[in-house]
Amino acid sequence: MRSIAIGLLGAGNVGGGVIRILQENRDSIERRLGAGVQVKRVLVRDPSRGRDVDVPEELLTTDADEVLADPDVRVVVELIGGIEPARTYILDAIRRGKHVVTANKALLGQHGREIFDEATRCGVSVFFEASVAGGIPILRSLREGLASDHILRLSGIVNGTSNYILDAMAREGSSFEDALAAAQRAGYAEADPTMDVEGTDAAQKLALLALVSFGIRVDPAEIPTEGITRIRPFEHQMARDLGYVVKSIAVARADEDGPMLAVYPAMIPRGSLLADVHGSYNAVLVESRALGRSMYYGRGAGMMPTGTAVVSDIIEVCRGLQSFAEGRPPPQAFSRVEEGRPKPLDDERSENYLCVHVPNVPGVLGRVASSLGEHGVSISRMNQEAPGDSETVDMVILTEAVEEAELRAAIATLDRFEDVLAPTHRLRILPPDPLD
Ligand code: HSE
C-alpha cells in the first residue's frame, strides 16, 4: 500500500495527540484513505525530554530543515504555535510545494492573508480545522456541510479555558485563580493564559469562523473583545437568582454594512442551548438562511480532541493527494475573500446587568437612577446587596434593551460620580433562544 510521508513541527500536547491517533487508528485511517500515513520526521526542541507517546528516537530532530527540505514529506503539520518561527516554517513549506496543516489561530489571524495567498500561488492547501473549537469539526461543517446555505449569524462558546473557569466558579464556587490553575493542569489553557481569559483566543477563532462563514477576513485585534477577569462569584450568584448563567460568548453577523463581531461575557437564559455547555466543551450555534439553526458541540481543547481535528485535516490533504485533486480552492472556503473591518457595536441593542458600587448613604440610588434615565437607559429591575461591610453596597440594576453607545455614555457618566467607588460592572443579558 502507498504511504504518504508527513513531517511534524512540534510534539507537545497536541503533537502527542496526533502521533497517538495516527498510531492507534492506523488501520481505520488506511481503510478510509487507501494509503498509509507515515510520520517521517518530527521537529522538537529537546529530543531527550520524556513524552506521553512513543516516538522512535530516529524520527526526532532539532533542525527544521530536516522536515521542510525532505523531498519525501508531502504534508507539514505545524504545531509549535506562536508567530515565529512558525510563520517562516509554514511559508518555507508552502514554497517547497508541501501542503500544510496547522492549529495556529494566532498566526492565521495575523498573517493569514500572506499564508493563504502564498498557498494559492504555489498550488497547495493550508488546512486549519484544529485552530477553532478543538475537536469539533466546525470549519469543515461550515465549509462543506453548509456550502449550499447562506450563513447569517454565529454565536458560540469557543474558549474552553474560559468556559471551564466560569463553569467551575458557578458550579463549585471555585475562585477564578483555582479554576484557572485547574484548566492549566488539564492542558486546556494557552501557554499564556491571558489569551484565554482576556478573550484574545476567542477573537482569533471568531475571525477564522467569519472567514469561513462569510468569506470576510478581519483582523482579530480589531474585534471588540472583553475578557472574564472581572467576573466575581457575586455575578454568578446574581445570574443564578435571576435565571441566567454567565458565559463568554463570541458572536458574528454578516450585515449589509459590514461584519459585526464581538467577544464578551454575558448572562444567558438558563435552558438556552449555549447555557448547557459545560467545562472545557465548546459549542457553535449557526443560523443559516435555508437550514435555520444548527449547533455543533464537543470538546474544544485538549490533546486528543484537538489531535483528531489535525489528523482529519491530514487525511483530507492525503485524500487530495490520492485523487490528484490538488487544484481545489483553498480550505479558507471562499475562492474570493474580501477584506473587512468589524463594525463598531454602537447600534447593537441589549438588555444589561449593571453592578454599581456605591456608599450606603441616602440619595445615591436616586442619583444613579436619574443619571441613567437622562441617558435614555430604562431600568427594568433593581436590587441592593451589601458585600460584607454595611458602609458600601453593590447596586444591581437590570436595564431594558438599550443601544450600546447610549449605555456606554451612561456608564461613563456614572463612573465619574464621586459616589461611584469602582468602575461599573456591566454584562449583556442575551435573549432566550427563539422557539421556532
Ligand atoms: N486555550 C484554548 C481553549 C485551547 O481554552 O479553548 C484550544 O484552542
pLDDT of residue 333: 60
pLDDT of residue 387: 60
Measured in angstroms, how far is the CA atom of residue 366 from the centroid of ligand 1? 44
pLDDT of residue 324: 58
* Domain boundaries 349-429, corresponding CATH code: 3.30.70.260
2 vs 249: which has the higher pLDDT: 249
Q: Is the pLDDT of residue 49 over 90?
A: no
Mean residue pLDDT of the chain comes to 93
Contacts of 113 (CB under 8 A, 6+ apart): 217, 339
Per DSSP, which regions of 79-190 are E strands? 99-102, 126-127, 151-157
Which ligand 1 atom is nearest residue 134's CA?
A: 7
What are residue 138's phi and psi, to 5 degrees? Answer: -75, -40
CATH of the structural domain 138-299, one choice from 3.40.50.1360, 3.30.360.10, 3.40.50.300, 3.40.50.1980: 3.30.360.10
Q: Is the pLDDT of residue 330 over 70?
A: no
Q: Which residues are catalytic?
A: 205
300 lines ligand 1 (CB under 6 A): yes
Q: Which fold has domain 3-134+303-338?
A: Rossmann fold (3.40.50)
Pocket test for ligand 1, best of 104, 128, 161, 208 (most atoms within 8 A of CB): 161
Name the pLDDT band for 366 (thresholds 50, 70, 90). Answer: very high
301 lines ligand 1 (CB under 6 A): yes
Measured in angstroms, how far is the CA atom of residue 223 from the centroid of ligand 1? 18
Cell of 393: 453596597
Q: Is the pLDDT of residue 327 over 60?
A: no
DSSP 357-422: EEES-TTHHHHHHHHHHHTTPPEEEEEEE--SSTTEEEEEEEEEEEEHHHHHHHHHHHHHSTT--S
163 lines ligand 1 (CB under 6 A): no
Max CA pair span of the chain: 83
Q: What is the mean pLDDT of residues 261-287?
A: 96
Name the pLDDT band for 266 (thresholds 50, 70, 90). Answer: very high
Q: What is the mean pLDDT of residues 220-238?
A: 95
Q: What is the mean pLDDT of residues 317-332?
A: 69
Measured in angstroms, how far is the CA atom of residue 403 from the centroid of ligand 1? 31
Lowest mean pLDDT among 117-121, 128-132, 134-138, 182-186: 182-186
pLDDT of residue 389: 64
- State what percent of residues in the chain have pLDDT above 70: 97
pLDDT of residue 101: 98
Measured in angstroms, how far is the CA atom of residue 1 from the centroid of ligand 1? 37
Domain positions in the chain are: 3-134+303-338, 138-299, 349-429
pLDDT of residue 332: 64
What are residue 151's phi and psi, to 5 degrees? Answer: -85, 130
DSSP at 30: H
- Measured distance CA(250)–CA(264) in Å, rounded: 7
Cell of 309: 481535528
129 lines ligand 1 (CB under 6 A): no
160 lines ligand 1 (CB under 6 A): yes
